Structure 1
Amino acid sequence: MEATQKQSTLENILRELENKEQMDSLYYLVQKLPDFTSRIQAMDDKLEFIESIIGDKQSLSTLSQEVEEKVEKLHINQEHFAALLEIVHLLPRLVSLMKKTEEISLFINDFLKDTTSVEYALKGINDIVPLDKAVGVIKETNEQFKEDKSSPNFSLYGMYRLLKDPTIQKGFRYLELLLGIINNKK
């Protein structure tokens, strides 16, 4: 009974192998057999290499000593690791700031390439401060800055007084509108 069961199983396998899909698959496997063999041998060689390295305690010891010596030369301490962790925690905010900076940079590059926009902006600036006067103002400011020997420290009151200046407020308003338009164009 066991022989007849084996024979019927063999007949089922032979019938299945006569199927065209099975024949095509077998043909493909036979053609790819050398490629499969070479890949398996390559993996076997790599596994043998890894096993030999793991088994070679002296090489691992030497390698770990070299790594330790190089790390010691860096003089990295706990403070460095803490700073690194803090940077990692700040990365999401830094990425968003970098994206905004890139958007502004791209906007400025596109703006500078568009001569119509540059002319329009210069005309707008000329309406606020005529350019010939602006050049004179910048030269005078540079001369006074070079001659000024007073202390460069700003007090909180001095910053507050500067922020109340109408020209600075207009500049901040312009910058705020510019950033709002950039944000809307996303």
Structure 2
Amino acid sequence: MATLVKMGFRRSCSTIRCPGKVLQPMLATSFAGSKTVPGVVADGMSIILPFESQTELTPLDLVWAKCRGYPSYPAMVVDPDMPQEGLLHNGIPIPVPPGDVLKLGERRQKATGERHYLVLFFDTKRTWQWLPRDKLLPMGMDDTVDKLRLMEGKKPSVRKSVHTAYDRAMIHLNHVMNHAKGNLSFNPSNFI
């Protein structure tokens, strides 16, 4: 069963300073291209798409994360080794994972012997989760995949929650991209 941990947003983030340089990671280029995911399968009334495990995920990638008992949900891959002072992604602060979340990940990876990715969901509780690669699908690569993921929830309230989280993920991505283009006339997203 999935263990979920929530954390408040760390607003004291600032640019990371190293001797002689300022670090601000560039936007991952994986969102620029479009890619088709093969293997659409109809299963009764629901449509299921396989998760791709060939594509390597990197920190700050947006993904659809699947936990048992829940529909796929928008999330961002976070580097568990990020500095505790915080990190800026093209000017947008990225929350620091709490210590108990990091310890959980170490235990889970030792127990299963497989790599798990740390993700931060775009939910209102700012939930963290460690998931294996086969439970993560890149977001924004294919409109059809995104639309199908948005319809996965069985209840209207669940679908609305997924839609809201997807909107938050797209707002975050828009802010990151605008900042990368030099448009600095906005406040950092409070959705991360």
TM-score range, shorter chain: under 0.3
Structure 1 or 2: more strand by fraction: 2
TM-score relative to the length of structure 2:
0.22
Larger Rg: 1
